[in-house]
């Protein structure tokens, strides 16, 4: 291929890929399969490597990340990113409407005359961002910061596929558009599930997850967080229209993701109706909102109203009430996770909150305790908003008893008394005694035998504790040395139970390599990542001798995971455990069938599995789907190809499947598909 041909092909591929991104992430109407899309992207990346002179900083290849930002440069905003005044009740909004009308010289309101046109928008709970475009190309992305200046996060913003790199249609030569970067709820739930499986601390809420993701140094890791972005405000010298709603409609034609739920309201009564509707409906959204933003629609009216030192006079934010109660903090205890991470827990006087009785709340880490200055005996305010667990948001100092001592964070592990460590840049303290600390050892064994790992269901948590306390099991490898006569003396261990346990351990030797890799408990290597690694390296021996550079070439493996893998296999005790497991007969390489790659019979098809099956387990069916080129999903959407249904399919899933006209098949039909 000549340079001219390559240049033309790169332009053609870039344009085609961006259109597919727009169809998928903005219009929610994909016109190409994931497989075919990946092939186009691979072709573009290959050409850009061969002809680097034609590489563009705004190439769609930058969506996958790879750039490293050591320090985020501080940039001054051309237009200050002021905060909005907040309102919490109807009276505040009526007062806002009165001030707007008085500011515009409108003293009375009839049924039609005198009422202000407002635009009501959902207040997305994420990270505010400003995007600057010149000649239709994204040139800079800046966080809000302190409103006067923010951080340049352009490299990370380019990984968000709903943010256009090149615009469509007719747009101003230069302008700024503002919006909110957020993490969709399903992505957040999936990410937390993965973190829980690998023993990492859970993220508190999607807002913090989105904000933290945008400040990650490795943009390839940001890309994996699957962030999204709604845009809601255009600024510039030569905008096409003189009203906010018209410019947002125009921005949609340029390629931006604009919320379909924004509404032009005539008068404050329409605004109140909009708020009342979303106060109930917000829980049905796949992302978090914490209120409604109300803006005067007309730009001339906005200009006449002007600004205070802190906020515009023509806009206000209505904040939904978070559920909140006050109760007494009885005790602070400390939990040790299987990776050694220490989590402080507030034990509370039981109190009703959000339809449940709350007895405990996470205090996250030492910094949070210090920031809140929370002390045992305090009356604390507990809130249950979008978070997965209740959180303490403050202390009622008026009820604090005199001479209550400040909380001193523990310096030694509450279980094994080893001195705690805290790495630079890490939020949590951790216990470094990974091979002797009881909760860590027991936690690793529980993880090893869990359903998605070795699936030794005859070995429950209580039995593992008994085996550990009896000195029979100190590592996961010790399980394969157990004898029936050793476990029979254990409390509540009958002949049949002992046989089942030994049989279960023996059966686990046939568990596939990717699940063994997940089971051995390398930090940061979750179920999905283990599958990707196993498929690439094909054997544990290859993985153990892979360089950092080779590891980074594997999909799903970034800097942190590569270092974690290298550290794991450099540890002599871990090497000894691996040797024992190998001697026991565990699967440390892909089977011949897996190495051949299965089939492509289910390529481009997405399945949701629901119900109870007679011929195979749900996990077996998931493996069959992936082995034959298909994808598994936990939720039904317009992108679902089939629902594989057994007995007792959930009624809600059935209802949603019928509403979206998703085909439902039984296991016999599925097995014929892959025969």
123 is catalytic: yes
Catalytic choice (123, 161, 224, 295):
123
pLDDT in tens, 389-401: 688 889 999 999 9
Tell whether the model's pLDDT for residue 264 goes beyond 90.
yes
Tell whether the model's pLDDT for residue 619 goes beyond 50.
yes
The answer to whether domain 323-399 has CATH 2.40.50.140 is yes
Domain boundaries, the chain: 3-64, 95-319, 323-399, 438-592, 599-673
CA 529, distance to chain mean position in Å, is 15
Comparing 389 with 38, which gets the higher pLDDT?
A: 38
Comparing 619 with 673, which gets the higher pLDDT?
A: 673
Burial label, 645 (beta-carbon count in 10 A; 0-12, 13-18, 19+)? buried
Phi, psi (deg, nearest 5) at residue 543: -60, -45
The answer to whether domain 95-319 has CATH 3.50.50.60 is no
pLDDT in tens, 72-130: 888 999 998 988 988 988 999 999 999 999 899 886 655 445 789 999 999 998 999 99
CATH code of 599-673, in short, is 3.40.50.10190
Domain 438-592 fold: DNA polymerase; domain 1 (1.10.150)
Range of weakest confidence among 48-52, 516-520, 624-628: 624-628
Domain 3-64 fold: Helix Hairpins (1.10.287)
Write the DSSP assignment of 500-545 as a string of letters. HHHHHHHHGGGS-HHHHHHHTT-TT--HHHHHHHHHHH-BHHHHHT
**In angstroms, rounded to a whole number, what is the distance separating the alpha carbons of residues 473 and 82?**
60
**In angstroms, rounded to a whole number, what is the distance separating the alpha carbons of residues 603 and 43?**
19
For residue 111, the model assigns a pLDDT of 44
pLDDT in tens, 54-64: 888 888 888 87
For residue 112, the model assigns a pLDDT of 46
* pTM higher than the cut 0.75: no
Helix, strand, or coil here: 450? coil
Asked, colleague to colleague, whether 3-64 and 95-319 share their fold, the answer is no
Q: What is the mean pLDDT of residues 170-182?
A: 95
Range of weakest confidence among 131-135, 376-380, 480-484, 614-618: 614-618
Q: What is the mean pLDDT of residues 475-500?
A: 91
CB 406 within 8 A of CB 383: no
Give the mean pLDDT of the chain: 88
237 contacts: CB under 8 Å, gap ≥ 6: 172, 174
């Amino acid at each position: 291929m000549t340079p001219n041909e390559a240049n033309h092909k790169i332009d053609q591929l870039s344009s085609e890929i961006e259109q597919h991104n727009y169809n998928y992430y903005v219009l929610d109407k994909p016109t190409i399969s994931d497989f075919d899309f990946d092939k186009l992207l691979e072709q573009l990346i290959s050409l850009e490597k061969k002809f680097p002179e034609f590489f563009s900083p705004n190439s769609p290849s930058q969506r996958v990340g790879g750039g490293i930002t050591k320090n985020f440069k501080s940039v001054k905003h051309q237009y200050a990113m002021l905060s909005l005044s907040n309102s919490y009740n109807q009276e505040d909004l009526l007062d806002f409407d009165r001030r707007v009308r008085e500011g515009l010289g409108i003293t009375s309101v009839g049924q039609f005359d005198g009422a202000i046109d407002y635009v009501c928008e959902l207040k997305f709970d994420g990270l505010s961002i400003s995007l600057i475009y010149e000649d239709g190309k994204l040139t800079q992305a800046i966080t809000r910061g302190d409103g006067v200046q923010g951080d340049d996060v352009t490299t990370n913003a380019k990984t968000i596929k709903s943010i256009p790199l090149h615009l469509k249609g007719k747009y101003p030569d230069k302008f700024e558009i503002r919006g909110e970067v957020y993490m969709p709820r399903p992505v957040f739930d999936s990410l937390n599930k993965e973190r829980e499986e690998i023993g990492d601390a859970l993220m508190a809420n999607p807002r913090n997850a989105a904000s933290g993701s945008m400040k990650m140094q490795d943009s390839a890791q940001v890309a994996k967080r699957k962030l999204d972005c709604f845009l809601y405000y255009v600024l510039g010298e030569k905008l096409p229209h003189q009203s906010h709603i018209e410019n947002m409609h125009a921005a949609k034609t340029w390629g931006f993701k604009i919320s379909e739920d924004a509404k032009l309201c005539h008068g404050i009564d329409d605004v109140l109706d909009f708020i009342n509707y979303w106060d109930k409906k917000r829980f049905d959204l796949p992302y978090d909102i914490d209120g409604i933003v109300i803006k005067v629609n007309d730009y001339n009216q906005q200009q006449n109203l002007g600004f205070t030192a802190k906020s515009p006079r023509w806009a206000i934010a209505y904040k939904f009430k978070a559920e909140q109660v006050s109760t007494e903090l009885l005790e602070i205890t400390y939990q040790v996770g299987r990776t050694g991470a220490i989590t402080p827990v507030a034990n509370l006087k039981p109190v009703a909150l959000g339809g449940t009785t709350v007895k405990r709340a996470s205090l996250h880490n030492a910094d949070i305790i210090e920031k809140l200055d929370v002390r045992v005996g305090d009356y604390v305010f507990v809130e249950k908003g979008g978070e997965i667990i209740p959180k303490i948001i403050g202390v009622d100092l008026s009820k604090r008893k005199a001479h209550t001592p400040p909380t001193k964070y523990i310096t030694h592990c509450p279980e094994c008394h080893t001195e705690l460590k805290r790495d630079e840049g890490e939020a949590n303290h951790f216990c470094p005694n990974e091979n002797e600390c009881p909760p860590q050892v027991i936690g690793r064994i529980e993880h090893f035998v869990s359903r998605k790992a070795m699936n030794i269901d005859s070995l429950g948590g209580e039995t593992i504790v008994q085996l550990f306390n009896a000195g029979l099991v100190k590592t996961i490898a010790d399980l394969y040395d157990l004898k029936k006569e050793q476990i029979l003396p254990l409390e509540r261990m009958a002949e049949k139970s002992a046989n089942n346990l030994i049989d279960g351990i023996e059966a686990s030797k046939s568990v596939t390599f990717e699940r063994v890799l997940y089971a051995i408990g390398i930090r940061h290597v979750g179920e999905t990542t283990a599958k990707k690694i196993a498929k690439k390296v094909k054997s544990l021996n290859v993985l153990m001798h892979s360089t950092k550079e080779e590891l980074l070439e594997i999909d799903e493996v970034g800097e942190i995971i590569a270092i974690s893998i290298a550290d794991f296999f450099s540890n002599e005790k871990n090497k000894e455990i691996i040797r024992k497991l190998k001697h026991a007969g565990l699967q440390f390489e892909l089977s011949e069938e897996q190495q051949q790659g299965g089939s492509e019979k289910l390529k481009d098809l997405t399945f949701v599995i629901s119900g109870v099956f007679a011929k195979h387990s749900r996990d077996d069916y998931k493996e069959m789907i992936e082995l034959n080129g298909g994808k598994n999903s936990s939720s039904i959407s317009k992108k679902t190809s089939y629902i594989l249904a057994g007995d007792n399919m959930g009624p809600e899933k059935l209802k949603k499947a019928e509403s979206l006209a998703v085909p439902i098949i039984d296991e016999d039909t599925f097995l014929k598909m892959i025969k």
